[in-house]
Every structure is written in C-alpha cells, then in structure tokens.
C-alpha cells in the first residue's frame, strides 16, 4: 500500500516496494496496487493503481486512473478520473470528467462547475452547480443541478429528490421512456430528442480496431517481454520525462519528415520514416495498457504469460475508455500515445531501465 502524507510540498511519504511516488514542486504523482492520499498537496495530484483513495486536499487538479476510486477530499481545481468504479463524496472546485463502468456522485459530493460523465451506470445524488452531460446505459438523477442536463442513455430515471434548475434534454434507446418521479422538480423545459439509429458500420469498425489492438499488443508483449518490461519501467520511473519526450517527438518528427520530403533524395527516407512514425503511434498505447495492467497485476517481475495477462487487463480498460464520448475517448488515446511514445524514445536513447523488486 502506498500512502501520501504531509501538508506541505516537502511532506513525508510511506511507500511499499511495489509503489511509486514522486514530488515535483507542489505536485504529486503516485502509483501502486493501493494508493491513498490522506493529507494536503499544494498543486496537482496524479494517481494510478488498483484501488485509489483520496481523502486529502489538492490545491490544483486531481487526475486518477485505475480500478476502484473513492474520492472524499477537497479538490480546488478539476477532477478527471477513469476506471471500473468511481465514487465522488467530496468537494470539487471546478469541473469533473468521469469515465468508467460505475460512476456515482454521492449526496455529500458537490461539483462547483460542470459534470461530464460517460459510463455504464451513472448516478447523481449530490450537487452540481452548472450543467450535467451524461452518456451511459442507465442514468439516475436524484440531486440538485443548477444548470441544464443533457442525457443520452438506454434508460433514464429522475428521482424524487431531484432539482433541475435548467432544461432537461434526453435521448433514450428505441422504445424506452424516461421515468420522472412525482417529487422531482424541473424548472426548465423537458425535451425528448429523437432516438438515433444504430450505426452498425461504426460499431463494427470500432470493434475490429479494439480486437486488432489487443491481438497486436499480445504478440508484441509475448515476442518482446524484456523490452516490454523495460518500457513500462521507464514510464513508471520517468512519467514527466515520458510526457515531455512524447510531446517532442509527436510534434517534431512530422516536421523533420516534411523537410526530408521537400528534397528529391529525401523522399524515400521520408516515406520510410512516415511508416515507422505511424507504426510507433499505433504501438505506443500498448506500453500504457501494459503499465495499467501491471498496476492491477501484483507480480513485480512477471514472466511472459504474466505480461500477456497484465496487458489484456490493461488493454481492455484502455479500450473501454477510448469509447467514451465528448472528446474523453479521444483525449485518452492522445495521452496514451504521447506517454507511450515518450517511454519508447527514452528507452531507445538511454537503454532499458532495470527493474528493482
């Protein structure tokens, strides 16, 4: 278990051999099977792990990715979390963006900005000062919402404690009707939007992309276990370096290829470089998916089979997150590509990082 303590930027920490923590200025980055932040962090908090608990104070934003999240503290900035189960009990000073299987804003929770929610089951029992946008299988609204509400779901229920001070717009599955309890108070208009026809071609293409990604990742991890371990070790130990290097290569390499293509002799090299670049963009998220899986798979030095199993766990979570709407899915893919590209670049430049148990 990894626990962050301390009310100042130079606070103390207790960390087990499977965990990771780094402080940069007032920011905190932590990962491990269990991550618990219990006191004050002046800046941003970034946490990843199997179980994440936040009961402290963040002066900036909170970014959380993992299996199970319980967030009870105070976040002055925005909250962005993705995982299997996300529960928000605390106070968020700006917006929340949540993606996952089960998303809950508890009665004690308050969001002083907007709420953007995408998942399987979504429940809002707390307070949101401004608008709510929710996309999911089942959506339940039973809290106080100060602005408009936009829902796209299979089913929608507005509970008896619900107060919506703006308009309620909803689009449900074919044949489904919204269930609005008698005690609910909706001060604006109630607008039912026409159901969309299922775009089977789009769904099929996304399914093929996910299957191809998982198949390619399994082959890569199985054929190159040492390089796969080294890449995830680089990402774990140097997250900021991976982000910076990934951004550099993501932006600079296409410019170099354009300059090469401007000369006759450089066209073959530019075409070859473009093929390598596109391949790296496709493979980079494999590193992040494996990193996520290894956070959930507790074996510190897994063999070939353990790496494949970890990748499949992380790959499924990553693929589900990429399906989230409202640019959340696109943002997940972009961040995974940049972090993975940076980790690969650092590993290629400095050599593989040895893992310590």
Q: What is the rounded CA–CA span in Å between residue 263 and residue 200?
A: 44
Which residue, chain included where needed, has tokens 């007032």?
Answer: 26
Yes or no: say if 48 and 29 are a contact pair by the CB < 8 Å rule: no
Q: Is 208 exposed, middle or buried (0-12, 13-18, 19+ CB in 10 A)?
A: exposed
R_g of the chain, CA atoms, integer Å: 22
pLDDT at 201: 54
Helix H or strand E segment including 140: strand 132-141
pLDDT at 355: 53
- Residues ≥6 apart with Cβ < 8 Å to 104: 86, 87, 88, 122, 123, 125
Yes or no: say if 183 and 164 are a contact pair by the CB < 8 Å rule: no
Map residue 30 onto helix, strand or coil.
Answer: strand
By DSSP bridging, strand 132-141 and strand 115-124 are parallel
Q: What is the rounded CA–CA span in Å between residue 163 and residue 147?
A: 10
- Residues ≥6 apart with Cβ < 8 Å to 57: 39, 40, 41, 73, 74, 76
pLDDT at 243: 86
Other beta carbons less than 10 A from residue 51's beta carbon = 18
pLDDT at 233: 87
pTM (two decimals): 0.62
Identify which of 39, 211, 42, 306 has the alpha carbon closest to the alpha carbon of residue 53.
39
pLDDT at 69: 84
Q: What is the rounded CA–CA span in Å between residue 23 and residue 45?
A: 10
Map residue 138 onto helix, strand or coil.
Answer: strand
Q: What is the rounded CA–CA span in Å between residue 207 and residue 194?
A: 25
Map residue 258 onto helix, strand or coil.
Answer: helix
pLDDT at 100: 76
Q: What is the rounded CA–CA span in Å between residue 32 and residue 47?
A: 9
Per the structure block, which two tokens stand in for 23?
Answer: 């402080």
Q: What is the rounded CA–CA span in Å between residue 245 and residue 183?
A: 54
Per-residue pLDDT of the chain (357 residues; tens, 9 = 90+): 555 444 333 343 433 334 567 777 788 877 767 788 888 899 988 877 678 889 989 999 998 876 788 999 999 999 988 777 899 999 999 999 888 778 999 999 999 999 999 878 899 999 999 999 998 888 999 999 999 999 988 889 999 999 999 999 998 876 778 899 999 999 999 998 876 654 555 566 677 778 888 888 888 888 888 888 888 888 888 888 888 888 888 888 888 878 877 777 778 888 888 888 888 888 899 999 898 888 776 665 667 788 888 888 888 888 877 776 555 677 788 888 999 999 998 888 876 555 544
How many degrees, rounded to 5, is the angle at CA 140 between CA 78 and CA 132?
35
Per the structure block, which two tokens stand in for 289?
Answer: 């998916």
């Amino acid at each position: 278990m990894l626990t962050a303590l301390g009310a100042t930027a130079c606070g103390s920490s207790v960390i087990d051999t499977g965990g990771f923590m780094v402080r940069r200025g007032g920011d905190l980055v932590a990962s491990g099977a269990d991550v618990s932040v219990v006191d004050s962090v002046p800046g941003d908090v970034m946490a990843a792990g199997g179980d994440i608990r936040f009961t402290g104070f963040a002066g900036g934003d909170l970014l959380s990715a993992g299996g199970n999240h319980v967030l009870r503290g105070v976040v002055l900035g925005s909250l962005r979390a993705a995982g299997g189960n996300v529960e928000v009990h605390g106070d968020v000073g700006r917006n929340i963006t949540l993606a996952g299987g089960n998303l809950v804003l508890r009665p004690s929770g308050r969001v002083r900005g907007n709420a953007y929610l995408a998942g399987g089951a979504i429940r809002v029992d707390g307070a949101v000062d401004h608008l709510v946008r929710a996309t999911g299988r089942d959506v339940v609204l039973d809290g106080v919402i100060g602005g408009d509400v936009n829902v796209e779901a299979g089913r929608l229920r507005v509970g008896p404690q619900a107060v919506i001070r703006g308009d309620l717009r909803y689009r449900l599955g074919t044949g489904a009707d919204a269930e609005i309890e008698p005690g609910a108070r909706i001060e604006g208009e109630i607008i039912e939007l026409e159901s969309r026809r299922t775009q089977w071609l789009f769904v099929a293409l996304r399914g093929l992309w996910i299957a191809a990604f998982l198949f390619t990742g399994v082959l890569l991890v199985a054929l190159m276990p040492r390089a796969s371990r080294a890449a995830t070790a680089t990402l774990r130990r140097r997250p900021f370096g991976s982000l910076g290097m990934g951004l550099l290569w993501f932006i600079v390499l296409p410019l170099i290829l354009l300059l090469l293509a401007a000369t006759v002799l450089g066209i073959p090299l530019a075409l070859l470089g473009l093929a390598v670049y596109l391949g790296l963009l496709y493979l980079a998220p494999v590193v992040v998916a494996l990193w996520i899986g290894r956070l959930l798979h507790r074996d510190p030095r897994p063999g070939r089979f353990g790496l494949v199993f970890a990748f499949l766990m992380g790959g499924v979570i990553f693929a589900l997150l990429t399906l989230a709407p409202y640019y959340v899915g696109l943002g997940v893919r972009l961040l995974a590509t940049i972090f993975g590209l940076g980790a690969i670049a650092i590993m290629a430049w400095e050599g593989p990082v040895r893992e310590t148990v």
